[in-house]
Chains A and B, each alone.
Chain A
């Protein structure tokens, strides 16, 4: 359940090495639902598999490093990931996502409410 810091580069984040004939590229929207919220300048995104069999796909491919790259230009801090296998869910903390957060923020989404669906734009490989 330890958070893995997004800044740590890993040689293989699961997104590469796909076999074109055996898998298809899908948006997370097809595999998961999500809800997000705030804690100060940090947005959290809870990512929940729509079916239990999708959960390992999320664990393998939706790494902290991958999410950090996905939100490039939108957050200025690291990404932490936590696993909730009991709920088939991952929890991401996106630090420095909210322009100071709460009342300080000038953003429309000052409380990080729709980082959830922004994460669902990410594409992963799903075995056919």
Chain B
């Protein structure tokens, strides 16, 4: 723990906002200044199904593979500086992930110097039929349909675990904690609970740690990345500093970044991140508590430093969210670019020709969607109402189809290229070739009685 504000604080660095985030960020977070923990979030909603598919082909896979080479780069620094890691890189195979890290640590000469915590118990795939048989319907939170509707197409099913199993691993001395589906916020909250010995019913404190987790879970999105306000004056995004939580035992904390890094941490930018993917702000529900975002007080506490206080929380609910992934069908998207003059009209004409041909072939789709990129793809009728569209330099025709069956989607992919020679003129931009039908793995959110889920914590010595 550091004493950077003249009292006991713990510094938790956000290193990855999603699987695929900037590879340099975690390295810079542990080298450019003092931190106590490195938090890395890898799991998006459908990531689990991709990992489940990999595991079914090879039982040693099923975790975020990039985590291992990253740890190879970081481990010497982590060991030297006593920085601990919390990450959900374990995916659907946290034990294999931990073993890969243990083998790596051994190879790097850290045998006996590194303890790896493994959090499991989130994976419900093998237990699904038993749960359904016992009356847990796992109804879709959006549509209300019972999971039995799609049971035969389910690819993965995971309960969201909270901070407590991660705390358990830290208490047992884990230097690196790899988990399955632990909430993004739990990975940040856990080090605070551990460092300050917060009680399980200290709802305001747990809510504060949850808000801290929400703030840094998307990496640089709270430190200048994707920030709309004054975006043109945000300095040096090429070297953007990822966020660091400096937490105090009383539940107040500050968000900052290492000196000398790019980006900006101010009240406006942090507020943008607070409202990101927000539902009812008074009820931000996690396995650990309900955080009330309408109680957050923000103040600029210095350059690139925002102070959070006043956060209130309420008791956790008695359910856990479950994320189910299931096979939905197929889709494909084709694009062509039409040039001036009359670019928009040409693209519209091509769309009409294509749709007429699809109809003549008798192809049935669940959906056919046309967008004109450069004209209305993102703002739809709002863009058409405000911008002159008769003199655009170019317009991309983007047409997508979706079907439960592969055959019509496959046939659709062969109807794009012919338009180059047998449709409207001035067309280009087809170098990518024929689009490929893509399998759609869809997401099914549900709730499950907490008592049905038993988190499990193991320690692996390197």
Contact of A106 among B228, B274, B402 (CB under 8 A): B402
* Cβ–Cβ < 8 Å partners of B447 in chain A: none
Task: Report the interface size for chain A: residues with CB under 8 A from the other chain.
Answer: 46
Report how many residues on chain B are interfacial, defined by Cβ distance under 8 Å: 50
Question: Is A72 among interface residues, defined by CB-CB distance under 8 A?
Answer: yes
- Tell me the minimal C-beta distance from A91 to chain B in angstroms: 5
Q: Is the CB of B272 within 8 A of A86?
A: no
With A84-B294, A103-B46, A116-B228 given, is the CB distance from A109 to B445 under 8 Å?
no
Contact among A84, A106, A107 for B401, CB-based, below 8 A: A106
Is the beta-carbon distance between B333 and A106 smaller than 8 angstroms?
Answer: yes
By beta carbon, the residue of chain A nearest B438 is: A103
Which among B229, B333, B382 is the interface contact of A121 at CB below 8 angstroms? B382
B419 within 8 A of partner (CB): no
Q: Give the CA-CA distance A91 to B401 in the complex, in Å.
A: 32
Task: Report B-chain residues with C-beta under 8 Å of the C-beta of A121.
Answer: 379, 382, 386
The reply to whether A46 and B382 form a contact with Cβ atoms under 8 Å apart is no
State whether A102 touches B443 (Cβ < 8 A). Answer: yes
Q: Which of B142, B310, B440 contacts A40 (CB 8 A)?
A: B142
B 44-61 binary contact with A (CB < 8 Å = 1; else 0): 011000000000000000
A127 at the interface (CB under 8 A from B): no
CA gap between A70 and B440 in the complex, in Å: 31
Binding stretch for chain A, among B28-36, B245-253, B277-285, B342-350: B277-285
Q: Which residue of A is nearest B297, CB measured?
A: A86
Given the interface pairs A102-B45, A106-B367, the reply to whether A44 lies near B278 with Cβ below 8 Å is: yes
Asked if B45 and A35 make an inter-chain contact with CB atoms under 8 angstroms apart, the answer reads no
Contacts of A83 in B (CB 8 A): 294
In the bound assembly, the distance between CA atoms of A106 and B125 in angstroms comes to: 28
Closest A-chain residue to B49, C-beta based? Answer: A103
Q: Which B residues are in CB contact (< 8 Å) with A16? A: none
A35–B441 Cα distance when bound, in Å, is: 27
Find chain B residues with CB under 8 A from A33 CB: 228-229, 268, 272
- Return chain B residues, CB-CB under 8 Å to A87: 271, 274-275, 293, 296, 298
Q: Mark A62-102, 1 if CB is under 8 A from B, else 0.
A: 00000000111110000000111111110101000001111
Instruction: Give chain B nearest CB distance to A30 CB in angstroms.
Output: 12
Which of A3, A99, A103 is the one whose CB lies under 8 Å from B367?
A99
Chain B residues with CB under 8 Å of A99's CB are 367, 369
Once A106-B369, A114-B378 are accepted as A-B contacts, the answer to whether A1 and B281 lie under 8 Å apart by CB is yes
A74: B residues at CB distance < 8 A = 380-382
1/0 contact string of A1-35 vs chain B (CB within 8 Å): 10100000000000000000000000000000111
Say yes or no for B371: interface residue by CB 8 A criterion. yes
Q: A44 to B378, Cβ gap below 8 A?
A: no
Q: Are A108 and B378 in contact (CB under 8 A)?
A: yes
Quick one: closest A residue to B325, CB to CB? A103
A108 CB contacts on chain B under 8 angstroms? 371, 373, 377-378, 398
CB contact under 8 A between A35 and B378, given known A102-B45, A103-B443, A104-B440: no
Q: Does B181 contact A (CB under 8 A)?
A: no
Interface mask (B324-363 → A, CB under 8 Å = 1, otherwise 0): 0000100101000000000000000000000000000000
A78 and B282 alpha carbons, distance in the complex (Å): 20
Instruction: Tell me the chain B residues, 254-313 only, with Cβ under 8 Å from chain A.
Output: 268, 271-282, 293-298, 310
Q: Which residue of A lies closest to B381 (CB)?
A: A73
Partner of B271 from A48, A102, A118 at Cβ < 8 Å: A48
Q: Is A41 an interface residue (CB 8 A)?
A: yes
> Which A residues have a C-beta under 8 Å from some C-beta of B?
1, 3, 33-42, 44, 46, 48, 50, 70-74, 82-89, 91, 93, 99-104, 106-109, 114, 116-118, 121
Q: List 12 A-B contacts (CB under 8 A).
A: A33-B229, A40-B142, A44-B275, A50-B229, A74-B382, A86-B295, A89-B271, A100-B442, A103-B441, A106-B367, A108-B398, A114-B379
